[in-house]
Amino acid sequence: MNMDVKTNVIKRNGEEVVFDLSKIVNAVKAANEEVDRIHQMNEYQIVAVADNIAAQVGELPHAVNVEDIQDMVERGIMEMRGYEVAQKYVRYRYRRELKRKSNTTDNGILSLIENINEEVTQENSNKNPVINSTQRDYMAGEVSKDLSKRVLLPAEIVNAHEEGIIHFHDSDYFAQKEHNCDLINLEDMLQNGTVISETLIEKPHSFFTACNVTTQIVAQVASNQYGGQSFTLAHLAPFVDISRKKLRRSVIEERRECGESLEDAIVDRVTERRLREEVKSGIQTIQYQLITLMTCNGQAPFVTIFMYLDEVADGQLREDLALIIEEVLIQRMQGVKNEKGVWITPAFPKLIYVLDEDNVTEGTKYWHLTKLAAECTAKRMVPDYISAKIMKELKKGEVYPCMGCRSFLTVEDTQMNEDGHHKFYGRFNQGVVTINLVDVACSSEGDMDKFWEILDERLELCHRGLRCRHERLLGTVSDVAPILWQYGALARLKKGEVIDKLLYNGYSTISLGYAGLYEMCMRMLGKSHTDPEARPFALAVMQRLNDKCKEWREAENISYSVYGTPMESTTYKFAKCLQKRFGIIEGVTDKNYITNSYHVHVSEEIDAFKKLKFEADFQKLSPGGAISYIEVPNMQNNIPAVLSVMKYIYDNIMYAELNTKSDYCECCGYDGEILIKEDETGKLQWECPNCKNMDQDKMFVARRTCGYIGTQFWNQGRTQEIKDRVLHL
């Protein structure tokens, strides 16, 4: 009997265990003993069934579900002509299934508490699954998913989601009527006051206080939604001058009491020195509080800070904004100390720096900030970069941040500010449903007419899923999240007022996600979408997604938008579902992941500039959200190369980032790239190249996985994707 099978098995509770052949033998023997002796199988037949299944499982490149193994057992018994035994086995399975359905959440929750549900505990690389607050969130999520599956969602959506045809995102928050991402209106809350935990917070009287209030706002917002959020430093900039004037009065008073000179130049010099210290303390408060604050869902807020000099008027206000940006970059480059006292790369906040005419070339006014940004990127993987030039071309002359890592609001003529610019701050995203483009291609079996027919059917399925998200939010009363709906983060609604008007007319977006454009082209045309013969097809598919969003929008007055999904655990789930449905297809389903959105495949050899230029055309067709990246080695000693990439981003693509490496081994002090290797069971593990340490608790690894930096390690599918990445520079 073949006992040497290294493939893992995924149990019903999500736990991943080593394949155990003896369990098959025991199950068949149990069924065998229940039939009359004349109909029983002999021991050789039972062993043959088990060996055949071991051979099948051993050929699979991925972990196999226990249900699939049980299907193999049924077929194996039938092939041995053990019909009566097969009947007993089927009845046993049925009885067990009925028993499990009596309470669908028990096993899932218990496996979370024991920290053995690999799929759930690795679905988010910034959540530590061991700590109590995270487990409470996951437990609530299991209940929400169960309610959503059994009661709240149509069967067709649930079935399509479970088969990996679509992905209905964040069903663990669906029952609670929560929404996705926010672009918070910090200006309104700071200038006009807000309320936090029933306590009135008036307009701050100093920059430091404004920073402190900002961190409290961010934590409150994060506890009332499940996605990312962004705020701009431009909304903090006015408080620098408030502090300057306050400090100047204090300096004059002190010097007068001491009989010292009140000459303006001296007073100004002392004031500016103290002001810089306050700015330093304020930014330090933001950095440390946003890392150490924990929201009700057991994680630091997924927050992005926007740095755009031209967002404020030229003059003192812009100089003050430049001062804040400089301090943010200096402190981020330093990093934060971990429990061992080692300076490491923090995951949050994410930083976005806007490249514009006044900072993108040497000799421009704010070139010193751009050089500092390049040094920070080389060491700490942020900031990421938005090109003001390209964004203005694509967004009706506007420049504004995404609502987190990549989800962008649409420019709406129905949503305007008093100054004549379009309104962005205070708007949000209702949620996401993602179409698996690889499944569309595989289902059509390469037939182009069939492909377009299936694509339209699947898009309508996504549409129905998105309608479920929208309708779940309808009727939500503003009282459920006062910080969002009543006190300025998103709106100033009255108590008892519903949020419905914010779900229409362009105030919020709702996102049609997509994944696997590369594999889709490989299945349909046998070529990557970077090939000139496949590129038009890929662009046509993207256009079809946009056409559908426009059609739904015009019919319903809801702002549907195409969104390049930042898949994390979903990439593994989609890959496993594809392999189950279609087997292994070279270049299509032969990995444990599929490619995010429109990206060039991680293993494809292409230089950085060609990659950015190629992907720019696809960003245009992903208006609801997209980000491109290039994979680079350690660039700390080659800042001119980083600057040349940044200049290229400014001229060619709206939004991009550089993926550097920032790891540390606690066992030997190695500071470099920690590598991925395959262990004796076939599982991918992280290993220090210096001392061979493989204990994840004794190493720090940071990788960009979905726009944000992840630091809590990843599932096997995403780990393989990281391992397969090639350098572009």
| DSSP 8-state assignment for residue 151 | I
Please give the average per-residue pLDDT across 481-488, as a whole number: 98
d(CA 561, CA 549): 6
Structure tokens at 134: 């995270």
Weakest mean pLDDT among 111-120, 271-280, 648-657: 111-120
| DSSP 8-state assignment for residue 193 | -
* Average pLDDT of every residue of the chain: 90
Please give the average per-residue pLDDT across 518-532, as a whole number: 98
Label residue 139 by pLDDT band (50, 70, 90): confident
Helix or strand run (H / E) with residue 213: helix 207-222
Query: 490: Cβ–Cβ under 8 A, 6 or more apart, which residues?
Result: 182, 184, 185, 426, 427, 428, 484, 502
Ramachandran sector of residue 587 (left: φ over 0; alpha: ψ -120 to 50; beta: rest): left
Bridge partners of 573, per DSSP, are none
What pLDDT score does 171 carry?
Answer: 93
* Residues taking part in catalysis: 180-181, 403, 405, 407, 429, 563, 568, 707
What pLDDT score does 601 carry?
Answer: 96
Helix or strand run (H / E) with residue 387: strand 384-387
Give per-residue burial for 686-707: e unless 16+ CB within 10 Å, then b: bbbeeeebeeeeebbbbbbbbb
Measured from the Cβ of residue 175, the count of other Cβ atoms closer than 10 Å reads 18
Q: What is the pLDDT of residues 174-193, one digit of tens each?
A: 998 999 999 999 999 999 99
Weakest mean pLDDT among 12-21, 204-213, 238-247, 504-513: 12-21
d(CA 324, CA 312): 13
pLDDT at 424 over 90: yes
Spelled out in words, what is the top-level CATH class assigned to the domain 182-394? alpha beta
What pLDDT score does 520 carry?
Answer: 98
pLDDT at 717 over 60: yes
Task: Kindly state the percentage of the chain with pLDDT values over 70.
Answer: 91
pLDDT at 69 over 50: yes
What pLDDT score does 125 carry?
Answer: 46
What pLDDT score does 114 carry?
Answer: 55
Contact in structure between 290 and 215 (CB atoms under 8 Å): yes
What pLDDT score does 122 carry?
Answer: 47
pLDDT at 68 over 90: no
Label residue 92 by pLDDT band (50, 70, 90): confident
Task: Kindly state the percentage of the chain with pLDDT values over 90.
Answer: 66
What pLDDT score does 700 carry?
Answer: 87
Label residue 300 by pLDDT band (50, 70, 90): confident
Give the residue extent of every domain in the chain: 8-102, 182-394
What pLDDT score does 100 carry?
Answer: 57
**Residue 132 Cα to chain centre, angstroms:** 22
3-class state of residue 50 by DSSP: helix
Q: What is the pLDDT of residues 531-582, one digit of tens each?
A: 999 999 999 999 999 999 999 999 999 999 999 998 877 888 999 999 989 9
Please give the average per-residue pLDDT across 711-721, as a whole number: 78
pLDDT at 5 over 80: no
Please give the average per-residue pLDDT across 409-435, as a whole number: 96
Label residue 15 by pLDDT band (50, 70, 90): low
DSSP string, 233-254: GGGTTHHHHHHHHHHHHHHHHH
Please give the average per-residue pLDDT across 15-41, as a whole number: 86
What pLDDT score does 134 carry?
Answer: 62
d(CA 181, CA 366): 31
Closest of 496, 456, 457 to residue 478, by C-alpha:
496
Q: What is the pLDDT of residues 313-329, one digit of tens each?
A: 999 999 999 999 999 99
Please give the average per-residue pLDDT across 387-404, as a whole number: 97
What pLDDT score does 333 carry?
Answer: 95
Q: What are phi and psi of 180, to 5 degrees?
A: -90, -95
Q: What are phi and psi of 128, to 5 degrees?
A: -85, 110
3-class state of residue 31 by DSSP: helix
Residue type at position 127? K
**Residue position matching structure tokens 């069934």:** 49
pLDDT at 129 over 60: no
Query: 407: Cβ–Cβ under 8 A, 6 or more apart, which residues?
Result: 180, 181, 227, 228, 429, 509, 511, 563, 624, 625
Query: 56: Cβ–Cβ under 8 A, 6 or more apart, which residues?
Result: 72
What pLDDT score does 521 carry?
Answer: 98
Query: SS in 3 state form for 126-149?
Result: CCCCCCHHHHHHHHHHHHHHHHHH
Q: What are phi and psi of 428, to 5 degrees?
A: -155, 175
3-class state of residue 530 by DSSP: coil
d(CA 618, CA 641): 25
Weakest mean pLDDT among 79-93, 290-304, 697-711: 290-304
d(CA 387, CA 309): 13
d(CA 485, CA 493): 6
Structure tokens at 417: 């500010």
Closest of 417, 460, 456 to residue 440, by C-alpha:
456
pLDDT at 38 over 90: no
3-class state of residue 293 by DSSP: coil
Contact in structure between 350 and 709 (CB atoms under 8 Å): yes
Which residue spans within 548-704 are E strands per DSSP? 559-564, 628-631, 655-659, 664-665, 675-678, 684-687, 699-700, 703-704
Structure tokens at 182: 């926010």
d(CA 357, CA 153): 49
Q: What is the pLDDT of residues 234-279, one digit of tens each?
A: 999 999 999 999 999 999 999 999 999 999 999 999 999 999 999 9
Query: 286: Cβ–Cβ under 8 A, 6 or more apart, which residues?
Result: 211, 214, 215, 305, 349
Weakest mean pLDDT among 70-84, 124-138, 551-565: 124-138
Structure tokens at 209: 């206080």
**Residue position matching structure tokens 């369990």:** 23
Beta pairing, strands 343-344 & 350-355: unpaired
Closest of 620, 630, 182, 613 to residue 391, by C-alpha:
620
Structure tokens at 386: 């938005």
Structure tokens at 12: 């019903």
What pLDDT score does 130 carry?
Answer: 58
Burial class (CB in 10 A: 0-12, 13-18, 19+), 47: middle
DSSP string, 618-647: HHHT-TTB--EEEE----TT-HHHHHHHHH
Please give the average per-residue pLDDT across 648-657, as a whole number: 98
Sign of the Cα pseudo-torsion (682, 688, 689, 691, in order): negative
Longest dimension (CA), the chain: 113
Give per-residue burial for 196-232: e unless 16+ CB within 10 Å, then b: beeeebeebebbbbbbbbbbbbbbbbbbbbbbbbbbb
Label residue 82 by pLDDT band (50, 70, 90): confident
Contact in structure between 163 and 581 (CB atoms under 8 Å): yes
Contact in structure between 368 and 388 (CB atoms under 8 Å): no
Residue type at position 284? Q
Label residue 505 by pLDDT band (50, 70, 90): very high
3-class state of residue 566 by DSSP: coil
Tell me the helices (H) and strands (E) count for the chain, helix number first: 24, 24
